Structure 1
């Protein structure tokens, strides 16, 4: 077997990790400056950077995006099990059996849960969607907590009484933040499902071969 460098073997995750870290740092710094400008407008003391990183403003803005991304991936993983889209590179075949649908068989190189079988195999067989839904609910909860904290901080600056988290759930602000992110994620999934019917990107596993007919389903 040909030996490859560590980067060649892991380049996709490394590049996206670097992009994530860079974007996260940029968000933190610009969010800090923007939030302090808002506080100055309210004649409040600015926050130092470390304090900002634990503020409701930062927590809310961060997990507001995380939760919609994890929801998108959870639904995408789960819905592509049973639903089809004719011609899309993101869909399983309309008629043919797919490799991902075959029953797992224990082998020397199979993952541990496959070898053990039983409930561990059943759990492992659905572990990807379970992981994404778990990350979604954690992120949704942190978004709610951060948004509530940020809302109450604004209430105090305006001389108003803070609200309980239950009362805040009845406010439109949190749900506006939530649904504006969800709709963009659903649109992005719809876009790749439909656009891969007609458009191609040579060399990408997310595209059909360039010479594939439009109505050929799957990669």
Structure 2
């Protein structure tokens, strides 16, 4: 068990932080919601009712969809786009899908390679795109949840104009919720790409080794 915890500590710690933040959001969002309802003379909700409400769901998934969009764009864009000197980028000479030998697929795979990397054909093709495809699916799923939950929440608001699901997709509320999250994700990616050229975090694989030249790409510390 100790070995398992050590070898999976990065995932476990961040899942723990996620759950702690989610619980904190539940309590804070519940208090804010009831304050707003009381000010409008509307019924308040118990904590359990708020947990399963559209208001809580839309606040949660609007953040999820922007994160998965960020990772989908990041893992696919970095196939073709580079930032000289950033460990987040490949060297300019490796732009593109790279050769089967470099990617260890098909006849270049070894015994430790994943089964679908050795299989060839459609299975290797799908596996070669699997990370981006799953991130895209998670983005579309959570964005769809935001759409439906936001629509339901909007129509439950006594001060908002009721509208159909299709009309809500083109509403200012839906796109404001989406774009305010997207812009922060795009800024974070751009900032990480350029700042990692000139700054270091010793021991982190997201940083170059401390003494590596600023112009060196594709190095991990």
Residue equivalent to 2:52: 54
Q: Normalised by the size of structure 2, how large is the TM-score?
A: 0.90
Matched ranges for 1:202-217 at <5 A: 202-217=202-217
Is residue 55–residue 149 contact of structure 1 (8 Å, CA) maintained in 2?
A: no
- Deviation, 1:149, is 1.0
Residue equivalent to 2:171: 171
- Deviation, 1:103, is 4.2
Which of the residues 23, 26, 44 maps onto 2:24?
26
Shift of the 192–99 alpha-carbon distance from structure 1 to 2, 3 Å rule, reads farther
In structure 2, distance between residues paired with 1:161 and 1:137: 26
Q: Which region of structure 1 is more displaced relative to structure 2, 3-12 or 177-186?
A: 3-12
- Once the two structures are superposed, residues 186-217 of structure 1 have per-residue CA deviations (whole angstroms, 9 ceiling, x without a partner) of 00000110001100010000000101111111
Residue equivalent to 1:66: 64
Shift of the 111–88 alpha-carbon distance from structure 1 to 2, 3 Å rule, reads same
Residue equivalent to 1:102: 103
Displaced runs of 4+ in structure 1, greater than 4 A? 96-101
- Deviation, 1:89, is 1.1
Residue equivalent to 2:130: 127
Is residue 104–residue 110 contact of structure 2 (8 Å, CA) maintained in 1?
A: no
Residue equivalent to 1:189: 189
Residue equivalent to 1:151: 154
- Once the two structures are superposed, residues 77-133 of structure 1 have per-residue CA deviations (whole angstroms, 9 ceiling, x without a partner) of 000011111111111012269799524134333222123322111101100000000
Is residue 87–residue 197 contact of structure 1 (8 Å, CA) maintained in 2?
A: yes
Question: What is the root-mean-square deviation of aligned Cα atoms in Å?
Answer: 2.0
Is residue 70–residue 132 contact of structure 1 (8 Å, CA) maintained in 2?
A: yes
What 5-or-longer segments of structure 2 have no aligned partner?
none
What 5-or-longer segments of structure 1 have no aligned partner?
none
In structure 2, distance between residues paired with 1:52 and 1:114: 46
Count of matched residue pairs: 214
Q: Normalised by the size of structure 1, how large is the TM-score?
A: 0.91
Residue equivalent to 1:114: 117
- Higher RCO (CA 8 Å, separation ≥ 6 residues): 1
Q: Which region of structure 1 is more displaced relative to structure 2, 161-170 or 13-22?
A: 161-170
